[in-house]
Amino acid sequence: MEGFLFQAFVYLCAAVIAVPIAKRLGLGSVLGYLIAGILIGPVIGLVGSETRELQHFAEFGVVMMLFLVGLELEPRMLWEMRARLLGLGGLQVGITTTLIGIAASLLGVQWSIALAIGLIFSLSSTAIVLQTLNEKGLTKTEGGRASFSVLLFQDIAVIPMLALIPLLALPELAGSGLVESAHDAAALGGEPNAQHGTSLVEGLPGWGYALVVLGAVAFVVLGGHFLCRPMFRYIAGSRLREIFTASALLLVIGIALLMTLVDLSPALGTFLAGVVLANSEFRHELESDIEPFKGLLLGLFFITVGAGIDFGVLFADFGKVLGLTLGVMALKGIVLFALARLFRLAPGDDWLFTLGLAQAGEFGFVLLSFSIQNSVVPPDLSKILALVVALSMMLTPAFFIIYEKLILPRRGGGDEKQADAIDEKGTVVIAGIGRYGQIVNRLLVASDVSTVVLDHEAAMIETLRKIGIKSYFGDATRPDLLHAAGIESAKLFVIAIDDRERAVQLVEHVRRHYPQVKILARAFDVNHLYLLKQAGVDFAVRETFDAALGLGAEALKALGHHPFRVEKMTQAFRLHDEEGLEQMYELWDENPDFSRNRALLARAREHGASLKEAMTSDRLQLHDRTERGWTPPPKGYNNELREEDPAGL
């Protein structure tokens, strides 16, 4: 227990210190984690061999990340990117493997080893790249999308690679495989032929295996579509926050388990599940539940990469390692840039794509361990190769900085325009979709505004979805959910929830953290209106005022007043009332918690007494107002005009 606490303390401490500093310095969080790892590992030596164990565990962060990526990607979008996925991804992996393989044999390595090396280095780091793209807001750019297509293809390609590697085994190495790495592949890539771990498909004939695989994928897709939603609905009904989180974790882990059982990539499985659930009402809730786990695990993963660097080997062979690293990255970069050109990525995007994917990645580690274990790559060479993978990953954040500082500023105006167009559409996040929020939402949607609707009433969401209103389950007062719903990039935030206090808290929260977002809120009454105002709302209306005024107007008409005069009266009444509200607000300085406060009560009594007076003066003031417009000139005004000579100018 003590050991565990100490370790956790060390890792957390390193992260908490290094990451914010790295972020401040504009280096990005990934580099921060890596540096933290180097500090506690090779430099200070606080952690040692257990980092390898931890790394396998932390690699699960990648699985979670792909689930989250899937959630962002509706099936339609996945279908639209199929050409990129197969073409761009396939070519990248194929060409890079070949070129690096050739280069390795030129350096005098045996062909089977060279091929394994080619495979290892053809992969890039999904963890670093997606995390960094996300952090820098580059996910939605052309370059970001193309990078994602390639990464996804690579993640899928790991599976056949794992099947291929054992065939490359060298007889002279057989038997010396390192036991330590025996289950390396289990964490990420599935483990064909692995010594331990259970596999349901061992010993099945080819067609049987194909059937099982198809069955598993079908189970994920259909299960995600038909089983998950009722299950989440049921759990949401229990209103237990942590049980929802638990079930989200259960889903991800369950699918990962299923995939490993049938020798498929868990990352692929959870990605598919994510895509299937992307259209569901639980999307944002799932996102915000899984996000922290993913973040921590990935952070841990990066730390272990840093901590795992073998400085002994590094300094012994520094020139060699550095040369190889730069060589590999250059080769990968050339292939990437050529492909970017071939697929007509815009200037700027091609550089993002090239610089972003030039490193080797975590799957490279997996393949490497797997190769050692299958007697494909000799252990000495593997130490150097591992360093090359790690070093190339360490260099990636620097490449992103180069992209940001040198390439991005020179990009043409074309992209700016694009950004503007998105900006103009501007999403509106609506919290609360009861009777009030529904009307607001209907008006906005009818006017072609894209809205994201949140409500904590799962049953309500279900009915709304049935009539075609896109809405999501979740408590809008939770910061992480607002974040998942995209509050940062929203133009407006509409608060229509039926909980007074929480509405005020929401205003405070959004005002403080997203000052650029305009906040519009429903107020229950004057006091609530003032509280919202105090919290910094941009615009609030009393929910009953307009409706009551409308009914009052009908009453006047029913009493025989001329409809247009009634219209004038109501307008004047409204203006007068709004002015009164403004003036009263200046006097109003009470905190809502002091509603039992004597001073406040006294003031309320005073106010009540002045009410009658106000009513009579109301009539006079309103009279002035309504009589102001269309006042006919005085009876004798023609005589005046005749005497004058206004045209004499």
Partner 1 sequence: MKSRNDLLNTEMPESPASRATFHRKILILFAHPSVERSEAGQPLAQAAARTEGITLVDLYAEYPTFIIDVDREQDRLLAHDVVVFLHPLYWYSTPAILKEWQDLVLEHDFAYGSKGTALHGKIFFSAITAGGTETAYCDKGYNHFSIRQLLHPLEQMAMLCGMVYLPPFALFGARTALEEGRIDAHVADWVQVLRALRDNRLDIEAARELPKLNFKLNSILREG
Residue-level length of the chain: 649
Rounded to a whole number of angstroms, the minimum distance from the CB of residue 613 to partner 1 is 25
Judged by CB under 8 A, the stretch of 29-37, 175-183, 543-551, 632-640 that binds partner 1 is: 632-640
Per CB under 8 A, 571 contacts partner 1: yes
* 628 is a contact residue toward partner 1 (CB under 8 A): yes
Concatenating the DSSP letter of every residue in 330-376 gives HHHHHHHHHHHHHTTPPTTHHHHHHHHH-S--HHHHHHHHHHHHTTS
| Distance of closest approach, residue 421 Cβ to partner 1, in angstroms | 13
The yes or no reply on residue 640 touching partner 1 (CB under 8 A) is: yes
- Dihedral sign from CA coordinates of 451, 456, 461, 463: negative
Cα dihedral 420, 425, 431, 433 in deg (nearest 10): -170
Q: How many CA atoms lie within 13 A of 190 on its CB side?
A: 30
Site size toward partner 1 (CB under 8 A) is 18
Q: Is residue 631 near partner 1 by the rule CB under 8 A?
A: yes
Binder to partner 1 among 560, 586, 629, 635 (CB under 8 A)? 629
630 binds partner 1 (CB under 8 A): yes
Closest separation in Å from C-beta 628 to partner 1? 6
State which residue, 249 or 556, has the beta carbon closest to partner 1.
Answer: 556
Segment contacting partner 1 (CB under 8 A): 8-16, 97-105, 499-507, 636-644?
A: 636-644
Largest CA distance in the chain: 123
Q: Minimum CB separation from partner 1 for residue 333, in Å?
A: 43
Sheet strands side by side (includes 518-523): 471-473, 451-455, 428-431, 492-495, 518-523, 539-542
Q: How far is residue 368's CA from residue 376's CA, in Å, rounded to a whole number?
A: 9
As measured in angstroms, the least distance from the Cβ of 646 to partner 1 is 4
Does residue 646 belong to the site contacting partner 1 (CB under 8 A)? yes
Give CA–CA dist 328/272, Å, rounded. Answer: 31
Question: By CB under 8 A, which span of 190-198, 220-228, 335-343, 634-642 interacts with partner 1?
Answer: 634-642
Residue 578 found at the interface with partner 1 (CB under 8 A): no
Cβ count near 501 (within 10 Å): 11
Is residue 98 near partner 1 by the rule CB under 8 A?
Answer: no
Instruction: Decide: is 637 part of the binding site for partner 1 (CB under 8 A).
Output: yes
Nearer to partner 1, 541 or 555 (CB): 541
In this chain, which stretch among 47-55, 84-92, 389-397, 624-632 interacts with partner 1, using CB under 8 A?
624-632
Report the C-alpha gap between 172 and 296 in whole angstroms: 42
Helix runs in 170-282, H state only: 206-222, 228-238, 241-261, 266-277
Q: Please tell me the distance from the alpha carbon of residue 168 to that of residue 120, in angstroms, as a whole number.
A: 13
CB of 519: closest distance to partner 1 in angstroms?
12
Tokens 């841990």, located at residue: 300
Q: Are 260 and 187 in contact (CB under 8 A)?
A: no
Judged by beta carbon, residue 93 or residue 519, the one nearer partner 1 is 519
* Cβ closest to partner 1, residue 527 vs residue 571: 571
Burial label, 63 (beta-carbon count in 10 A; 0-12, 13-18, 19+): buried
Question: How far apart are the C-alpha atoms of 154 and 132, rounded to whole Å?
Answer: 18
Binding residue for partner 1, selected from 203, 206, 560, 633, defined by CB under 8 A: 633
User: Quick one: 337 or 436, whose CB is closer to partner 1?
Assistant: 436
Of the listed pieces 128-136, 215-223, 449-457, 633-641, which binds partner 1 according to CB under 8 A?
633-641
Pairing of strands 539-542, 451-455: unpaired
Helices (H), 278-348: 283-307, 311-316, 318-342
Smaller CB separation from partner 1, 57 or 637: 637
Q: Is 634 in the site for partner 1 (CB under 8 A)?
A: yes
Nearest CB to partner 1, comparing residues 275 and 537: 537
Which positions from 518 through 557 interact with partner 1, judged by CB under 8 A?
538-539
Minimum CB separation from partner 1 for residue 643, in Å?
8
CA distances from residue 531 to 120, 535, 586 in whole angstroms, order as listed? 60, 6, 13
In the complex, the smallest distance separating the C-beta of residue 640 from partner 1, rounded to whole angstroms, is 4
Taking the least distance from each CB to partner 1, the nearer of 554 and 578 is 578
Considering only residues 8 through 67, tell me which ones interact with partner 1, judged by CB under 8 A.
none
Count Cβ atoms within 10 A of the Cβ of residue 518 and give its class: 0-12 exposed, 13-18 middle, 19 or more buried: middle
Specify the residue for token string 């580099």. Answer: 31
Contacting positions for partner 1 (CB under 8 A): 538-539, 571, 575, 628-631, 633-634, 637, 640-641, 643-644, 646-647, 649
